[in-house]
Structure 1
Amino acid sequence: MRRNSLLTPRRERLARILVLAAWWGVVGYFAREVLGTRDANGEHLIAVAVLAYLAAWCPVLALSRWGPAGKLGRFAACTASIAAGIAVAEAPAALGRIDYREVFHTPTPPWRRSGNLADPDLLFARKPGSRLTLRFQGSDLHGLRDAPKDVYTCDTTLDALGFRNPAGLDAAEVVLIGDSFVEGLQVADDKLVSARLAERIGAPVANLGRTGYGPRQELAVLERHAAGFNPRACVWFFYEGNDLQDLGSYEAQRERVKALRPESFKRAWQARSFSRNAAGWLMRPGSRDGAPARERAGLLADGTAVYFSCGVHEGAPEAVAGRARPETTAGLRDVFEEAAEASRARGMELIVAFVPAKFRVYRDLCRFDDSSPCPSWPVDDLPTVVAGVARAAGVDFLDLTPALKSAAESGPLVYLADDTHWSAEGHRVAAAAIAERIARDRKP
């Protein structure tokens, strides 16, 4: 009887051998990838998933009675259906419509994030005239178990310079320079310190704050943008939580930005990729293994819980000592001296406003759980140190700590309960203190 096959027995055996050799070659390739990408963010899990998928087909291919064509056909059909589903998710990333780094909160240098532009002095700038839409949780809850899950939203339109100002603002009585406290992504446009200050002084105020900036970038903002508003005064906000750290890391980051080269389509797509960022998100440790939320919570007299992810400086509380070393404060003095000179050349009064960390303001107002490490966290004299550096550089100084502490003792929260930044009330209090200082300095 004639065999119902296009292959002779010898050729069929050869086909089986070739299929198995190719199969185990692919399995070996992804096994090598698993071993070689053990520490890579997301890539290790992708290699593991592919290897597991191939391994699941091994008994099917080994034990089934299908011929080589039947085995390959079924494998190809199953794989094609999975690939089609992934392609649907990957298409928006390939077209640049969705950046999955933002969806999965993948740690990414700011100059690589969508909506930002690399800059040799600022490190990054926001795209002018763009719409900024964000959703995020309070930073003081990161890694805690059983923590509240409130979400903050920001939906604002940036001006022609990429800052959070009303459209068409081209002149201002005062400009504000700083980091995330000034940009204030946690509050609405009309609740910002700049908007509140404008109400207080009855004149326009320009907001030149940008999340993630440190003293060197803020100096570049002053030199590049502040004079364009023809202001009488510039208020520079110094945040004790991380501004000294940002100053120390600036030069290394600047070298990284200078070394950037245009990304190929493939590399840009891989960075935005659904598969890579989803795998990285799955590999990142969640809050299940973190400290209980109660250990980082302080209870106010009315029972309100206020959370603390760190003390007065970001990072490990035990590493606080030595943050204001002479070599660091010398670098800060250099920055302030350059800022003072630039301000005088532009006819601006310059005031450095010290922004205290939430822990400095609320520590003595809170009752902590017996298991909490917070009461042992040290509080240093950085306000005094920065005041001395500013005055030595010929710059006026305003410590916002007393105003914020006074408001915290008697009114609504001036910082967000679950985040390091000011609440809308904190923006109002800061604006009132600045308005009072400006009015006092201008009295005859």
Structure 2
Amino acid sequence: MSVPGWARALRRLGLVAGGTALALGVVELAVRWVGSAQGTDLVFMAPMGYPRDIYVQDGAMTYPNPAFTGTIQSFGYSVKPTFNAWGTRGPAPQTGVRTWISVGDSFTIALQVKDDETFSARIGQAEGAQVLNAGVDGYSTWKEALRAVQLGRAFPPEVVIANFFTGNDFFDNRQGATHTIEHPGLGPGEPGAPRFKVPVIGIAPPPPGWFAGMRDHSVLVAHWWAWKESRRARSGNDPNARRFRDELGLFTAEGQAKAAADTQMTEKALLFFADAAREVGARGVVAVMPPAFAMDVDTAKRTFESVGFDGATPDLDSAQNAAIAAAKAANLLVCDMMPVLRAATAAGERPYLPFDGHLSVTGHQIVADALRTCIAAGS
């Protein structure tokens, strides 16, 4: 009995689809074995779209939303963070117990790992203290100082740690302070604090569900996405490209001459943070955190090329040294995270996430251990 033409066509279509799926599967496994596209974390933009209700805002200050119940997902992680009424990550803070406060930007709030896996939580577990994780994406040192005072008046700390990320904090500190140390504004949880509204703060909307699922689970699709975004950055049509190059300039020999103004503003911001630590009677500590591309020259060059910054001469220690000098001038205890993170990278421990560029679970533990050692030695 002859097979109908439509059946033969359907069979051929099935064979083609099956062969294509098998080929893609083989390529996916091969790419996973080779590893991630080093140096593309600037253009990967992970996570691509935060849920819009993750932060609430009062004027210039932004805080985590206590009512947030969503999931933060990108390639390599899927996390359900929790926030309390005081706008810190994890359980609500308690009075009358040993307390440290940890302020910073996305490296502190660390939405890529679970509540109890952040370096702040790891320090608290080891020290037998509550460490209030008051990180907020995009925070400057100025805002971190104000946040430390808001929380420190309610929960007097022994130590206040400011995480200074050399990848963009010089840039973020250009804006200056919005309040004074004496009058830092009312944060979440404080009596008389305003009712905070869910803001639109420039966070890109999430991509279509089907695409997000592919990009967040497939190394092959993640590579393609990084390549596409790199092409856009290099074309001159990406509004983020200029900022990327401004930030990267601090890590080049050519960019040092242009960095004087940013360095001066950071010096002022760190003095402001030192005042905040004194205001709440705490030891002021600055953890100087390098970006993933500063681990080695080859990765730095690939990062520069990904945003069209070709030909620049990497000077990977200059930004770190500038931040350390500014913090020391403010009489703050400085904890340099570069040596331990470089050593871990050289040993193959992967302290940074693939594509994303933030700390991995391993990286948070390394930083927590290094900070505890540094603070104990500086006491």
Q: Give the TM-score normalised by structure 2.
A: 0.63
Q: Distance in 2 between matches of 1:322 and 1:366?
A: 16
Pair 1:200-2:126 in alignment: yes
> Helix, strand or coil: the match of 1:153?
strand
Aligned to 2:276: 342
Is the Cα–Cα contact under 8 Å of residues 166 and 289 in structure 2 kept in the other structure? Answer: yes
Is the Cα–Cα contact under 8 Å of residues 81 and 90 in structure 2 kept in the other structure? Answer: no
CA separation of 1:393 and 1:287: change in aligned 2, threshold 3 A: closer
> Helix, strand or coil: the match of 1:209?
coil
CA separation of 1:201 and 1:119: change in aligned 2, threshold 3 A: same
Is the Cα–Cα contact under 8 Å of residues 176 and 265 in structure 2 kept in the other structure? Answer: no
How far did residue 392 of structure 1 move?
1.5
CA separation of 1:388 and 1:199: change in aligned 2, threshold 3 A: same
Q: Residues 148-297 of structure 1 correspond to what in structure 2 (within 5 A)?
A: 150=75, 152-170=77-95, 171-249=97-175, 289-291=228-230
**Structure 1: which 5+ runs fail to align?**
1-102, 138-149, 253-267, 293-308
CA separation of 1:363 and 1:201: change in aligned 2, threshold 3 A: farther
CA separation of 1:172 and 1:228: change in aligned 2, threshold 3 A: farther
Aligned to 2:361: 424
Aligned to 1:125: 63
How far did residue 151 of structure 1 move?
5.6
Superposition CA RMSD, Å: 3.9
Is the Cα–Cα contact under 8 Å of residues 163 and 210 in structure 1 kept in the other structure? Answer: no
Is the Cα–Cα contact under 8 Å of residues 72 and 111 in structure 2 kept in the other structure? Answer: no
CA separation of 1:291 and 1:168: change in aligned 2, threshold 3 A: closer
> Helix, strand or coil: the match of 2:125?
helix
How far did residue 363 of structure 1 move?
3.9
Is the Cα–Cα contact under 8 Å of residues 121 and 220 in structure 1 kept in the other structure? Answer: no
Q: Distance in 2 between matches of 1:215 and 1:125?
A: 15
Q: Give the TM-score normalised by structure 1.
A: 0.54
CA separation of 1:426 and 1:249: change in aligned 2, threshold 3 A: same
Q: Distance in 2 between matches of 1:161 and 1:187?
A: 20
Percentage of identical aligned residues? 25
Q: Which has the higher contact order (CA 8 A, sep 6+)?
A: 2
Which range moved further: 344-353 or 358-367? Answer: 358-367
CA separation of 1:183 and 1:364: change in aligned 2, threshold 3 A: same
Give the total of aligned pairs.
278
**Structure 2: which 5+ runs fail to align?**
1-46, 179-198, 212-224, 232-239
Deviations 1:240-272 (A, max 9, x none): 1111111224679xxxxxxxxxxxxxxx99x9x
Q: Distance in 1 between matches of 2:226 and 2:116?
A: 34
CA separation of 1:323 and 1:182: change in aligned 2, threshold 3 A: farther
Is the Cα–Cα contact under 8 Å of residues 416 and 423 in structure 1 kept in the other structure? Answer: yes
Q: Residues 279-428 of structure 1 correspond to what in structure 2 (within 5 A)?
A: 289-291=228-230, 314-315=244-245, 319-320=249-250, 321-322=255-256, 325-363=259-297, 377=312, 378-380=314-316, 381-428=318-365
Q: Distance in 2 between matches of 1:367 and 1:383?
A: 18
Aligned to 2:372: 435
Is the Cα–Cα contact under 8 Å of residues 241 and 314 in structure 1 kept in the other structure? Answer: no
> Helix, strand or coil: the match of 1:133?
coil
Deviations 1:328-380 (A, max 9, x none): 222222222222122223210001110001011244689979x9889955234
Is the Cα–Cα contact under 8 Å of residues 391 and 397 in structure 1 kept in the other structure? Answer: yes
